[in-house]
Protein backbone atom coordinates (compact mmCIF):
# COMPACT_ATOMS: atom_id res chain seq x y z
CA UNK A 1 0.00 0.00 0.00
CA UNK A 2 1.35 3.42 -0.92
CA UNK A 3 1.37 6.43 1.37
CA UNK A 4 -0.83 9.47 0.74
CA UNK A 5 1.39 12.59 0.69
CA UNK A 6 -1.46 14.64 2.21
CA UNK A 7 -1.10 12.72 5.48
CA UNK A 8 2.63 11.99 5.33
CA UNK A 9 4.74 15.12 4.93
CA UNK A 10 7.80 12.84 4.87
CA UNK A 11 6.97 11.82 1.30
CA UNK A 12 6.87 15.42 0.15
CA UNK A 13 10.08 16.13 2.05
CA UNK A 14 11.78 13.08 0.51
CA UNK A 15 10.69 14.16 -2.95
CA UNK A 16 12.01 17.69 -2.45
CA UNK A 17 15.33 16.34 -1.14
CA UNK A 18 15.57 13.99 -4.13
CA UNK A 19 14.98 16.84 -6.53
CA UNK A 20 17.63 18.98 -4.87
CA UNK A 21 20.24 16.25 -5.43
CA UNK A 22 19.12 15.11 -8.89
CA UNK A 23 21.77 15.95 -11.53
CA UNK A 24 19.27 15.61 -14.39
CA UNK A 25 17.37 18.84 -15.14
CA UNK A 26 14.59 16.94 -16.95
CA UNK A 27 13.67 14.63 -14.07
CA UNK A 28 14.28 17.45 -11.59
CA UNK A 29 11.69 19.60 -13.36
CA UNK A 30 9.28 16.67 -13.70
CA UNK A 31 9.51 15.95 -9.97
CA UNK A 32 9.09 19.61 -9.02
CA UNK A 33 5.85 19.77 -11.00
CA UNK A 34 4.64 16.55 -9.41
CA UNK A 35 5.41 17.82 -5.89
CA UNK A 36 3.64 21.10 -6.58
CA UNK A 37 0.55 19.30 -7.86
CA UNK A 38 0.53 16.86 -4.93
CA UNK A 39 0.87 19.70 -2.44
CA UNK A 40 -2.13 21.33 -4.11
CA UNK A 41 -4.19 18.19 -3.44
CA UNK A 42 -4.13 16.74 -6.98
CA UNK A 43 -5.20 13.11 -6.45
CA UNK A 44 -3.34 11.67 -9.45
CA UNK A 45 -0.14 13.49 -8.49
CA UNK A 46 -0.45 12.28 -4.90
CA UNK A 47 -0.83 8.68 -6.04
CA UNK A 48 2.05 8.93 -8.50
CA UNK A 49 4.35 10.54 -5.95
CA UNK A 50 3.44 8.00 -3.30
CA UNK A 51 4.24 5.17 -5.72
CA UNK A 52 7.59 6.63 -6.72
CA UNK A 53 8.66 7.02 -3.09
CA UNK A 54 7.10 3.82 -1.75
CA UNK A 55 10.47 2.10 -1.50
CA UNK A 56 13.67 1.57 -3.46
CA UNK A 57 14.07 -0.14 -6.82
CA UNK A 58 15.55 -3.50 -5.90
CA UNK A 59 18.67 -4.83 -7.59
CA UNK A 60 18.29 -8.51 -8.46
CA UNK A 61 19.76 -11.14 -10.76
CA UNK A 62 18.17 -9.28 -13.69
CA UNK A 63 19.81 -6.06 -12.50
CA UNK A 64 17.40 -3.15 -12.58
CA UNK A 65 14.40 -2.52 -14.80
CA UNK A 66 11.61 0.03 -14.39
CA UNK A 67 9.81 2.96 -15.97
CA UNK A 68 11.85 6.11 -16.50
CA UNK A 69 11.19 9.01 -14.15
CA UNK A 70 12.30 10.71 -10.95
CA UNK A 71 12.28 8.90 -7.62
CA UNK A 72 13.82 5.79 -6.05
CA UNK A 73 11.29 3.44 -7.68
CA UNK A 74 12.09 4.57 -11.23
CA UNK A 75 15.04 4.39 -13.61
CA UNK A 76 16.92 7.70 -13.56
CA UNK A 77 20.42 9.10 -13.18
CA UNK A 78 20.35 9.05 -9.38
CA UNK A 79 19.43 5.37 -9.30
CA UNK A 80 22.05 4.55 -11.96
CA UNK A 81 24.82 6.51 -10.22
CA UNK A 82 24.11 4.70 -6.96
CA UNK A 83 23.95 1.33 -8.73
CA UNK A 84 27.27 1.98 -10.47
CA UNK A 85 28.94 2.97 -7.20
CA UNK A 86 27.68 -0.13 -5.42
CA UNK A 87 28.61 -2.39 -8.31
CA UNK A 88 32.13 -0.95 -8.49
CA UNK A 89 32.58 -1.51 -4.75
CA UNK A 90 31.44 -5.11 -5.15
CA UNK A 91 33.86 -5.80 -8.00
CA UNK A 92 36.76 -4.33 -6.05
CA UNK A 93 35.83 -6.49 -3.06
CA UNK A 94 35.41 -9.85 -4.80
CA UNK A 95 38.10 -9.89 -7.47
CA UNK A 96 40.94 -12.33 -6.87
CA UNK A 97 44.50 -10.96 -7.00
CA UNK A 98 46.31 -11.53 -10.27
CA UNK A 99 49.07 -10.03 -12.31
CA UNK A 100 49.52 -9.49 -16.01
CA UNK A 101 52.23 -11.04 -18.16
CA UNK A 102 54.75 -8.58 -16.80
CA UNK A 103 53.91 -9.57 -13.26
CA UNK A 104 52.36 -6.26 -12.25
CA UNK A 105 48.81 -6.13 -10.97
CA UNK A 106 46.28 -4.68 -13.39
CA UNK A 107 43.23 -2.71 -12.46
CA UNK A 108 39.90 -4.52 -12.62
CA UNK A 109 38.33 -3.96 -16.00
CA UNK A 110 34.76 -2.96 -16.88
CA UNK A 111 32.91 -2.86 -20.19
CA UNK A 112 29.79 -0.72 -20.54
CA UNK A 113 27.29 -0.91 -23.41
CA UNK A 114 23.94 0.65 -24.16
CA UNK A 115 21.03 0.44 -26.56
CA UNK A 116 19.03 3.25 -28.20
CA UNK A 117 16.32 3.66 -25.57
CA UNK A 118 15.57 6.96 -23.90
CA UNK A 119 18.35 7.69 -21.41
CA UNK A 120 20.57 4.73 -22.29
CA UNK A 121 23.65 6.64 -23.44
CA UNK A 122 23.50 9.04 -20.47
CA UNK A 123 23.19 6.13 -18.04
CA UNK A 124 26.13 4.38 -19.70
CA UNK A 125 28.33 7.47 -19.49
CA UNK A 126 27.37 8.02 -15.85
CA UNK A 127 28.37 4.42 -15.18
CA UNK A 128 31.70 4.90 -16.96
CA UNK A 129 32.36 8.05 -14.91
CA UNK A 130 31.66 6.31 -11.59
CA UNK A 131 33.63 3.18 -12.53
CA UNK A 132 36.63 5.23 -13.61
CA UNK A 133 36.60 7.30 -10.43
CA UNK A 134 36.43 4.09 -8.39
CA UNK A 135 39.62 2.81 -10.03
CA UNK A 136 38.23 0.45 -12.67
CA UNK A 137 39.74 0.43 -16.14
CA UNK A 138 36.57 1.26 -18.05
CA UNK A 139 35.83 0.52 -21.70
CA UNK A 140 32.73 2.07 -23.27
CA UNK A 141 31.13 0.67 -26.40
CA UNK A 142 31.27 3.30 -29.16
CA UNK A 143 27.56 3.47 -30.06
CA UNK A 144 24.21 1.86 -29.32
CA UNK A 145 24.93 -1.82 -29.98
CA UNK A 146 23.22 -5.17 -29.35
CA UNK A 147 23.45 -6.85 -25.97
CA UNK A 148 25.35 -9.87 -27.44
CA UNK A 149 28.22 -7.54 -28.39
CA UNK A 150 28.54 -6.49 -24.75
CA UNK A 151 28.24 -10.09 -23.52
CA UNK A 152 30.97 -11.14 -25.97
CA UNK A 153 33.20 -8.21 -24.92
CA UNK A 154 33.11 -9.21 -21.24
CA UNK A 155 34.74 -12.53 -22.10
CA UNK A 156 36.91 -11.37 -25.00
CA UNK A 157 38.37 -8.41 -23.09
CA UNK A 158 38.69 -10.37 -19.82
CA UNK A 159 36.60 -7.82 -17.95
CA UNK A 160 35.61 -8.29 -14.33
CA UNK A 161 32.25 -6.65 -14.92
CA UNK A 162 30.00 -5.72 -17.81
CA UNK A 163 26.98 -3.44 -17.78
CA UNK A 164 24.38 -3.27 -20.53
CA UNK A 165 21.91 -0.40 -20.30
CA UNK A 166 18.77 -1.84 -21.89
CA UNK A 167 15.21 -2.83 -21.12
CA UNK A 168 15.25 -5.36 -23.97
CA UNK A 169 11.66 -5.84 -25.19
CA UNK A 170 9.91 -3.78 -22.49
CA UNK A 171 7.59 -0.88 -23.38
CA UNK A 172 9.12 2.43 -24.54
CA UNK A 173 8.75 4.11 -21.13
CA UNK A 174 11.14 1.62 -19.50
CA UNK A 175 14.88 1.21 -19.19
CA UNK A 176 17.14 -1.20 -17.36
CA UNK A 177 20.60 -2.11 -16.15
CA UNK A 178 21.87 -5.64 -16.84
CA UNK A 179 25.05 -6.88 -15.13
CA UNK A 180 27.59 -9.53 -16.13
CA UNK A 181 30.61 -10.66 -14.13
CA UNK A 182 33.83 -12.11 -15.47
CA UNK A 183 37.60 -12.09 -15.24
CA UNK A 184 38.85 -12.31 -11.68
CA UNK A 185 35.44 -11.56 -10.15
CA UNK A 186 33.97 -15.05 -10.65
CA UNK A 187 34.98 -18.65 -11.23
CA UNK A 188 36.02 -19.53 -14.81
CA UNK A 189 32.75 -21.30 -15.74
CA UNK A 190 30.74 -18.16 -14.92
CA UNK A 191 32.85 -15.63 -16.79
CA UNK A 192 30.69 -13.54 -19.06
CA UNK A 193 27.42 -14.74 -17.52
CA UNK A 194 24.70 -12.66 -15.93
CA UNK A 195 24.83 -12.59 -12.16
CA UNK A 196 23.21 -15.11 -9.81
CA UNK A 197 23.01 -15.34 -6.02
CA UNK A 198 24.82 -14.41 -3.85
CA UNK A 199 26.22 -11.67 -6.08
CA UNK A 200 22.82 -10.00 -6.50
CA UNK A 201 22.38 -9.72 -2.73
CA UNK A 202 25.95 -8.56 -2.20
CA UNK A 203 25.63 -5.89 -4.90
CA UNK A 204 22.28 -4.75 -3.47
CA UNK A 205 23.90 -4.36 -0.06
CA UNK A 206 26.73 -2.31 -1.55
CA UNK A 207 24.22 -0.08 -3.34
CA UNK A 208 22.26 0.42 -0.11
CA UNK A 209 25.48 1.50 1.61
CA UNK A 210 26.23 4.22 -0.95
CA UNK A 211 26.00 7.71 0.53
CA UNK A 212 24.31 10.79 -0.93
CA UNK A 213 24.42 10.86 -4.72
CA UNK A 214 26.18 14.22 -4.72
CA UNK A 215 29.08 12.59 -2.84
CA UNK A 216 29.63 9.79 -5.37
CA UNK A 217 32.96 10.46 -7.15
CA UNK A 218 32.59 10.85 -10.92
CA UNK A 219 35.50 11.16 -13.31
CA UNK A 220 35.26 13.77 -16.04
CA UNK A 221 37.24 11.55 -18.38
CA UNK A 222 39.71 8.68 -18.24
CA UNK A 223 37.64 5.86 -19.71
CA UNK A 224 38.32 4.43 -23.16
CA UNK A 225 35.75 4.48 -25.95
CA UNK A 226 36.28 1.28 -27.91
CA UNK A 227 36.76 1.59 -31.69
CA UNK A 228 33.84 1.05 -34.06
CA UNK A 229 35.57 -2.15 -35.19
CA UNK A 230 34.34 -3.85 -32.00
CA UNK A 231 31.16 -4.80 -33.88
CA UNK A 232 33.19 -6.58 -36.58
CA UNK A 233 35.39 -8.17 -33.92
CA UNK A 234 32.28 -9.70 -32.37
CA UNK A 235 31.22 -11.08 -35.76
CA UNK A 236 34.73 -12.41 -36.40
CA UNK A 237 34.46 -14.36 -33.16
CA UNK A 238 30.90 -15.65 -33.36
CA UNK A 239 30.38 -16.52 -37.03
CA UNK A 240 32.86 -19.43 -37.24
CA UNK A 241 30.82 -21.17 -34.55
CA UNK A 242 27.68 -21.20 -36.70
CA UNK A 243 28.91 -21.10 -40.32
CA UNK A 244 31.08 -24.00 -41.39
CA UNK A 245 30.95 -23.53 -45.16
CA UNK A 246 33.58 -21.56 -47.02
CA UNK A 247 33.43 -17.88 -46.18
CA UNK A 248 31.58 -15.86 -48.77
CA UNK A 249 29.71 -18.86 -50.23
CA UNK A 250 26.57 -17.47 -51.83
CA UNK A 251 23.30 -18.64 -50.32
CA UNK A 252 20.18 -17.82 -52.37
CA UNK A 253 17.71 -17.88 -49.45
CA UNK A 254 15.58 -14.71 -49.39
CA UNK A 255 15.23 -13.33 -45.87
CA UNK A 256 13.08 -10.60 -44.36
CA UNK A 257 14.56 -9.11 -41.20
CA UNK A 258 13.11 -6.69 -38.69
CA UNK A 259 15.01 -5.25 -35.73
CA UNK A 260 11.71 -3.86 -34.33
CA UNK A 261 13.15 -0.32 -34.08
CA UNK A 262 16.05 -1.68 -32.02
CA UNK A 263 19.82 -1.77 -32.40
CA UNK A 264 20.23 -5.15 -34.10
CA UNK A 265 19.46 -4.28 -37.72
CA UNK A 266 22.92 -3.39 -38.96
CA UNK A 267 24.74 -6.11 -37.02
CA UNK A 268 22.37 -8.92 -37.97
CA UNK A 269 22.29 -7.84 -41.62
CA UNK A 270 26.08 -7.84 -41.72
CA UNK A 271 26.22 -11.22 -39.99
CA UNK A 272 23.85 -12.69 -42.59
CA UNK A 273 25.83 -11.10 -45.43
CA UNK A 274 29.09 -12.53 -44.13
CA UNK A 275 27.42 -15.94 -43.93
CA UNK A 276 26.62 -15.69 -47.65
CA UNK A 277 23.02 -14.51 -47.23
CA UNK A 278 22.96 -11.31 -49.26
CA UNK A 279 19.27 -11.36 -50.25
CA UNK A 280 18.08 -9.71 -47.03
CA UNK A 281 15.15 -7.29 -46.95
CA UNK A 282 15.01 -5.18 -43.79
CA UNK A 283 11.50 -3.94 -42.97
CA UNK A 284 11.93 -0.24 -43.84
CA UNK A 285 9.46 1.12 -41.27
CA UNK A 286 11.35 -0.66 -38.46
CA UNK A 287 14.92 -0.51 -39.74
CA UNK A 288 16.32 2.38 -37.69
CA UNK A 289 16.57 2.57 -33.90
CA UNK A 290 13.66 4.52 -32.44
CA UNK A 291 13.10 4.54 -28.66
CA UNK A 292 9.38 5.17 -29.13
CA UNK A 293 8.83 1.95 -31.16
CA UNK A 294 6.08 3.69 -33.17
CA UNK A 295 4.85 0.78 -35.33
CA UNK A 296 4.23 -1.80 -32.59
CA UNK A 297 2.09 -1.90 -29.46
CA UNK A 298 4.91 -3.73 -27.64
CA UNK A 299 8.45 -4.15 -29.06
CA UNK A 300 8.40 -7.86 -28.29
CA UNK A 301 8.43 -10.35 -31.18
CA UNK A 302 6.30 -12.73 -29.10
CA UNK A 303 3.42 -10.24 -28.89
CA UNK A 304 0.51 -10.50 -31.34
CA UNK A 305 0.92 -8.03 -34.19
CA UNK A 306 4.63 -7.39 -33.66
CA UNK A 307 5.52 -9.21 -36.90
CA UNK A 308 2.69 -7.85 -39.03
CA UNK A 309 4.93 -5.52 -41.05
CA UNK A 310 7.58 -8.21 -41.44
CA UNK A 311 5.04 -10.72 -42.74
CA UNK A 312 3.57 -8.15 -45.12
CA UNK A 313 7.08 -7.48 -46.44
CA UNK A 314 7.71 -11.22 -46.77
CA UNK A 315 4.57 -11.70 -48.84
CA UNK A 316 5.49 -8.71 -51.00
CA UNK A 317 9.03 -9.88 -51.80
CA UNK A 318 8.40 -13.63 -51.87
CA UNK A 319 10.67 -14.38 -48.90
CA UNK A 320 11.70 -17.83 -47.73
CA UNK A 321 12.19 -16.85 -44.08
CA UNK A 322 11.32 -14.07 -41.62
CA UNK A 323 13.64 -13.18 -38.75
CA UNK A 324 12.74 -10.68 -36.02
CA UNK A 325 15.18 -9.52 -33.38
CA UNK A 326 13.91 -7.91 -30.21
CA UNK A 327 15.20 -4.34 -29.62
CA UNK A 328 18.53 -5.33 -28.02
CA UNK A 329 18.92 -8.34 -30.36
CA UNK A 330 19.52 -10.98 -27.73
CA UNK A 331 16.47 -12.91 -28.97
CA UNK A 332 15.12 -13.84 -32.38
CA UNK A 333 11.71 -14.88 -33.64
CA UNK A 334 11.35 -17.04 -36.75
CA UNK A 335 8.45 -17.28 -39.19
CA UNK A 336 8.20 -19.66 -42.12
CA UNK A 337 5.90 -20.02 -45.14
CA UNK A 338 3.28 -22.72 -44.80
CA UNK A 339 2.20 -24.43 -48.04
CA UNK A 340 -1.53 -24.32 -48.67
CA UNK A 341 -3.98 -21.59 -47.70
CA UNK A 342 -6.16 -24.05 -45.82
CA UNK A 343 -3.48 -24.92 -43.25
CA UNK A 344 -5.00 -24.30 -39.82
CA UNK A 345 -1.99 -22.54 -38.31
CA UNK A 346 -1.26 -20.43 -41.39
CA UNK A 347 -1.69 -16.66 -41.15
CA UNK A 348 -2.00 -15.75 -44.82
CA UNK A 349 0.56 -18.41 -45.65
CA UNK A 350 3.00 -17.83 -42.77
CA UNK A 351 3.49 -19.27 -39.31
CA UNK A 352 5.65 -18.03 -36.47
CA UNK A 353 7.57 -20.92 -34.96
CA UNK A 354 7.36 -21.36 -31.22
CA UNK A 355 10.57 -20.89 -29.27
CA UNK A 356 10.59 -24.60 -28.47
CA UNK A 357 10.38 -25.44 -32.18
CA UNK A 358 13.34 -23.22 -33.02
CA UNK A 359 15.20 -24.67 -30.03
CA UNK A 360 14.59 -28.18 -31.38
CA UNK A 361 15.77 -27.20 -34.87
CA UNK A 362 18.95 -25.56 -33.58
CA UNK A 363 19.51 -28.44 -31.16
CA UNK A 364 19.16 -30.96 -33.99
CA UNK A 365 21.74 -29.01 -36.04
CA UNK A 366 24.05 -28.66 -33.03
CA UNK A 367 23.86 -32.40 -32.38
CA UNK A 368 25.29 -33.04 -35.84
CA UNK A 369 28.11 -30.56 -35.20
CA UNK A 370 28.88 -32.06 -31.78
CA UNK A 371 29.03 -35.67 -32.93
CA UNK A 372 31.88 -37.36 -31.09
CA UNK A 373 32.72 -34.29 -29.01
CA UNK A 374 33.74 -35.36 -25.53
CA UNK A 375 31.94 -33.62 -22.67
CA UNK A 376 29.40 -31.71 -24.77
CA UNK A 377 26.20 -30.81 -22.93
CA UNK A 378 22.88 -29.43 -24.14
CA UNK A 379 20.77 -27.42 -21.71
CA UNK A 380 17.42 -25.73 -21.55
CA UNK A 381 15.22 -24.31 -18.82
CA UNK A 382 12.64 -26.37 -16.95
CA UNK A 383 9.83 -24.47 -18.69
CA UNK A 384 11.18 -25.33 -22.14
CA UNK A 385 10.33 -28.47 -24.09
CA UNK A 386 11.69 -31.86 -23.08
CA UNK A 387 12.26 -32.61 -26.77
CA UNK A 388 15.81 -31.23 -26.57
CA UNK A 389 16.64 -33.92 -24.04
CA UNK A 390 15.39 -36.59 -26.45
CA UNK A 391 17.44 -35.11 -29.30
CA UNK A 392 20.54 -35.04 -27.11
CA UNK A 393 20.05 -38.60 -25.87
CA UNK A 394 19.65 -39.91 -29.42
CA UNK A 395 22.96 -38.26 -30.33
CA UNK A 396 24.76 -39.52 -27.22
CA UNK A 397 25.04 -36.00 -25.79
CA UNK A 398 24.41 -35.16 -22.15
CA UNK A 399 21.46 -32.93 -21.34
CA UNK A 400 20.71 -30.76 -18.33
CA UNK A 401 17.62 -28.85 -17.22
CA UNK A 402 18.14 -25.55 -15.42
CA UNK A 403 16.12 -22.90 -13.69
CA UNK A 404 14.52 -20.29 -15.92
CA UNK A 405 16.89 -17.70 -17.34
CA UNK A 406 20.12 -17.70 -19.29
CA UNK A 407 22.07 -16.84 -16.16
CA UNK A 408 21.58 -20.54 -15.32
CA UNK A 409 21.78 -22.08 -18.79
CA UNK A 410 25.06 -20.33 -19.58
CA UNK A 411 26.71 -21.75 -16.45
CA UNK A 412 26.28 -25.40 -17.42
CA UNK A 413 29.76 -26.98 -17.65
CA UNK A 414 30.56 -28.16 -21.17
CA UNK A 415 27.64 -26.26 -22.69
CA UNK A 416 27.50 -26.80 -26.45
CA UNK A 417 23.97 -25.51 -27.05
CA UNK A 418 21.30 -24.00 -24.84
CA UNK A 419 17.95 -22.35 -25.24
CA UNK A 420 14.85 -21.14 -23.44
CA UNK A 421 11.34 -21.09 -24.86
CA UNK A 422 11.12 -17.28 -24.76
CA UNK A 423 13.07 -17.03 -28.07
CA UNK A 424 16.52 -17.12 -26.47
CA UNK A 425 19.25 -19.31 -28.01
CA UNK A 426 22.94 -19.80 -27.29
CA UNK A 427 24.61 -21.35 -30.33
CA UNK A 428 28.18 -20.20 -29.61
CA UNK A 429 28.69 -20.57 -25.84
CA UNK A 430 32.47 -20.39 -26.02
CA UNK A 431 32.09 -16.89 -27.46
CA UNK A 432 28.90 -15.49 -25.89
CA UNK A 433 27.68 -16.89 -22.56
CA UNK A 434 24.18 -15.53 -23.00
CA UNK A 435 21.31 -15.70 -25.43
CA UNK A 436 22.30 -14.19 -28.76
CA UNK A 437 19.68 -13.35 -31.35
CA UNK A 438 22.26 -12.46 -33.98
CA UNK A 439 24.23 -15.70 -34.14
CA UNK A 440 20.97 -17.64 -33.72
CA UNK A 441 19.44 -15.77 -36.66
CA UNK A 442 22.41 -16.76 -38.81
CA UNK A 443 22.22 -20.37 -37.64
CA UNK A 444 18.51 -20.60 -38.52
CA UNK A 445 19.00 -18.93 -41.91
CA UNK A 446 21.95 -21.16 -42.83
CA UNK A 447 19.96 -24.26 -41.85
CA UNK A 448 16.95 -23.08 -43.89
CA UNK A 449 19.18 -22.42 -46.90
CA UNK A 450 20.84 -25.84 -46.69
CA UNK A 451 17.43 -27.50 -46.47
CA UNK A 452 16.14 -25.45 -49.41
CA UNK A 453 18.98 -26.80 -51.53
CA UNK A 454 17.69 -30.29 -50.70
CA UNK A 455 14.10 -29.39 -51.52
CA UNK A 456 13.19 -29.44 -47.82
CA UNK A 457 12.11 -26.92 -45.19
CA UNK A 458 12.38 -26.27 -41.47
CA UNK A 459 8.87 -27.69 -41.12
CA UNK A 460 10.07 -30.93 -42.70
CA UNK A 461 12.75 -31.26 -40.01
CA UNK A 462 10.15 -30.68 -37.30
CA UNK A 463 8.15 -33.52 -38.87
CA UNK A 464 11.24 -35.75 -38.80
CA UNK A 465 11.77 -34.97 -35.11
CA UNK A 466 8.14 -35.78 -34.32
CA UNK A 467 8.45 -39.13 -36.10
CA UNK A 468 11.65 -39.93 -34.23
CA UNK A 469 10.69 -38.78 -30.73
CA UNK A 470 6.94 -38.17 -30.60
CA UNK A 471 5.12 -34.91 -31.20
CA UNK A 472 5.98 -32.47 -28.41
CA UNK A 473 3.54 -29.55 -28.42
CA UNK A 474 3.76 -26.58 -26.06
CA UNK A 475 1.60 -23.63 -25.13
CA UNK A 476 1.39 -20.91 -22.48
CA UNK A 477 -1.28 -19.39 -20.30
CA UNK A 478 -0.26 -15.97 -18.94
CA UNK A 479 -2.39 -14.27 -16.31
CA UNK A 480 -1.63 -10.57 -15.87
CA UNK A 481 -2.62 -9.12 -12.49
CA UNK A 482 -2.98 -5.58 -11.21
CA UNK A 483 -2.33 -6.72 -7.62
CA UNK A 484 0.86 -8.75 -7.20
CA UNK A 485 -0.63 -10.23 -4.04
CA UNK A 486 -2.96 -12.30 -6.20
CA UNK A 487 -0.10 -14.38 -7.63
CA UNK A 488 0.85 -16.30 -4.45
CA UNK A 489 -2.86 -16.72 -3.63
CA UNK A 490 -3.56 -18.34 -7.01
CA UNK A 491 -0.44 -20.50 -6.77
CA UNK A 492 -1.36 -21.63 -3.26
CA UNK A 493 -4.88 -22.53 -4.38
CA UNK A 494 -3.45 -24.73 -7.13
CA UNK A 495 -0.94 -26.31 -4.74
CA UNK A 496 -3.58 -27.07 -2.12
CA UNK A 497 -6.24 -28.33 -4.53
CA UNK A 498 -4.61 -29.45 -7.78
CA UNK A 499 -6.82 -30.90 -10.51
CA UNK A 500 -7.18 -34.67 -10.39
CA UNK A 501 -6.64 -34.88 -14.15
CA UNK A 502 -5.43 -32.70 -17.00
CA UNK A 503 -6.43 -33.27 -20.61
CA UNK A 504 -8.07 -36.55 -19.67
CA UNK A 505 -4.98 -38.00 -17.95
CA UNK A 506 -4.54 -38.51 -14.21
CA UNK A 507 -2.21 -36.09 -12.41
CA UNK A 508 0.40 -38.37 -10.84
CA UNK A 509 2.82 -35.78 -9.44
CA UNK A 510 2.55 -32.27 -7.99
CA UNK A 511 6.01 -30.93 -7.11
CA UNK A 512 6.66 -27.70 -5.23
CA UNK A 513 9.76 -26.32 -6.95
CA UNK A 514 10.60 -24.30 -3.83
CA UNK A 515 11.02 -27.52 -1.83
CA UNK A 516 14.26 -29.53 -1.72
CA UNK A 517 14.63 -32.69 -3.77
CA UNK A 518 13.80 -31.38 -7.24
CA UNK A 519 17.40 -31.56 -8.42
CA UNK A 520 17.48 -27.79 -8.91
CA UNK A 521 18.00 -24.79 -6.64
CA UNK A 522 14.70 -23.85 -4.95
CA UNK A 523 12.50 -21.53 -7.00
CA UNK A 524 8.90 -20.40 -6.81
CA UNK A 525 6.66 -22.64 -8.86
CA UNK A 526 4.74 -25.89 -9.22
CA UNK A 527 5.23 -28.79 -11.62
CA UNK A 528 2.35 -31.12 -12.46
CA UNK A 529 2.88 -34.37 -14.37
CA UNK A 530 0.20 -36.70 -15.72
CA UNK A 531 0.21 -40.39 -16.53
CA UNK A 532 0.41 -39.74 -20.28
CA UNK A 533 3.46 -37.46 -20.00
CA UNK A 534 1.70 -34.10 -19.99
CA UNK A 535 3.63 -31.50 -18.01
CA UNK A 536 2.45 -28.18 -16.59
CA UNK A 537 4.70 -25.72 -14.79
CA UNK A 538 3.18 -22.73 -13.01
CA UNK A 539 5.44 -19.91 -11.86
CA UNK A 540 5.46 -16.14 -11.36
CA UNK A 541 7.09 -14.11 -14.13
CA UNK A 542 10.48 -12.71 -13.21
CA UNK A 543 9.98 -9.46 -15.13
CA UNK A 544 6.23 -8.76 -15.32
CA UNK A 545 3.17 -8.88 -13.00
CA UNK A 546 2.06 -12.23 -14.40
CA UNK A 547 1.46 -15.79 -13.34
CA UNK A 548 2.68 -18.00 -16.18
CA UNK A 549 1.63 -21.56 -16.95
CA UNK A 550 3.79 -23.60 -19.32
CA UNK A 551 2.00 -26.53 -20.95
CA UNK A 552 3.49 -29.49 -22.81
CA UNK A 553 1.81 -32.58 -24.21
CA UNK A 554 3.38 -35.50 -26.06
CA UNK A 555 1.32 -37.17 -28.78
CA UNK A 556 2.33 -40.47 -30.37
CA UNK A 557 2.69 -40.40 -34.14
CA UNK A 558 1.55 -43.28 -36.35
CA UNK A 559 3.91 -42.72 -39.26
CA UNK A 560 4.18 -39.68 -41.52
CA UNK A 561 0.57 -40.01 -42.57
CA UNK A 562 -0.42 -39.75 -38.91
CA UNK A 563 1.22 -36.36 -38.32
CA UNK A 564 -1.90 -34.24 -38.98
CA UNK A 565 -3.95 -36.36 -36.58
CA UNK A 566 -1.22 -36.17 -33.91
CA UNK A 567 -1.08 -32.39 -34.23
CA UNK A 568 -4.84 -32.09 -33.99
CA UNK A 569 -4.87 -34.32 -30.91
CA UNK A 570 -2.09 -32.30 -29.26
CA UNK A 571 -3.85 -28.98 -29.90
CA UNK A 572 -7.14 -30.36 -28.59
CA UNK A 573 -5.45 -31.56 -25.40
CA UNK A 574 -3.66 -28.25 -24.92
CA UNK A 575 -6.96 -26.41 -25.27
CA UNK A 576 -8.61 -28.62 -22.66
CA UNK A 577 -5.70 -28.19 -20.27
CA UNK A 578 -5.81 -24.40 -20.61
CA UNK A 579 -9.50 -24.42 -19.69
CA UNK A 580 -8.92 -26.78 -16.77
CA UNK A 581 -6.10 -24.63 -15.40
CA UNK A 582 -8.20 -21.48 -15.69
CA UNK A 583 -10.90 -23.20 -13.67
CA UNK A 584 -8.42 -24.46 -11.07
CA UNK A 585 -6.99 -20.95 -10.69
CA UNK A 586 -10.43 -19.45 -10.26
CA UNK A 587 -10.40 -17.42 -13.48
Distance of CA 29 to the CA centre of its chain: 33
Label the pairing between strands 224-225 and 137-140.
parallel
Catalytic residue among 54, 104, 120, 168: 168
- Provide DSSP, 448-477: HHHHHHTT--HHHHHHHHHHHH-EEEEEEE
Close Cβ partners of 241 (under 8 Å, ≥ 6 residues apart): 427, 428, 430, 431, 439
Instruction: Report cis status (omega within 30 of 0) of the bond before 454.
Output: no
Close Cβ partners of 170 (under 8 Å, ≥ 6 residues apart): 65, 176, 299, 543
Distance of CA 337 to the CA centre of its chain: 26
Active site (annotated) includes residue 168: yes
CA nearest 322: which of 275, 284, 312, 261?
A: 312
Close Cβ partners of 35 (under 8 Å, ≥ 6 residues apart): 12, 15, 16, 19, 49
Output the CA angle 67-411-206, nearest 5 degrees: 50
CA-to-CA distance for 548 and 137, rounded, in angstroms? 41
C-beta neighbour count of 10 within 10 angstroms: 10
Q: Phi, psi at residue 421, to the nearest 5°?
A: -65, -20
CA-to-CA distance for 435 and 437, rounded, in angstroms? 7
CA nearest 319: which of 280, 287, 364?
A: 280
Q: Phi, psi at residue 31, to the nearest 5°?
A: -70, -40
Catalytic site residues? 168
Amino acid sequence: MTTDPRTDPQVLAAARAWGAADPDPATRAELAALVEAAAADDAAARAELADRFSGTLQFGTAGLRAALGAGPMRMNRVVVLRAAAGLAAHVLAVQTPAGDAAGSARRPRAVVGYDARHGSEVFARDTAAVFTAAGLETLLLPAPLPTPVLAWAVRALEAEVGVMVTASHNPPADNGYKVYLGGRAVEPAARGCQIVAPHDRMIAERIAAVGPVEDIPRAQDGWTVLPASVEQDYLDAVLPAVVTAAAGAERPLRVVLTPLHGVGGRTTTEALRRAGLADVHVVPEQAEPDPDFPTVAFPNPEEPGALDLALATARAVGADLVLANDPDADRVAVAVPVPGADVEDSAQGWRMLRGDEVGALLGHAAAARCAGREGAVFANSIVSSRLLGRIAAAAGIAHQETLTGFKWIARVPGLAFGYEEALGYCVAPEVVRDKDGISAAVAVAVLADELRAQGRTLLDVLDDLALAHGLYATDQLSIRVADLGRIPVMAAALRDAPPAALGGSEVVEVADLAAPGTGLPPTEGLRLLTADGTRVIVRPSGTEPKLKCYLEVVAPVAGRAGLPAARAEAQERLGRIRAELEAALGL
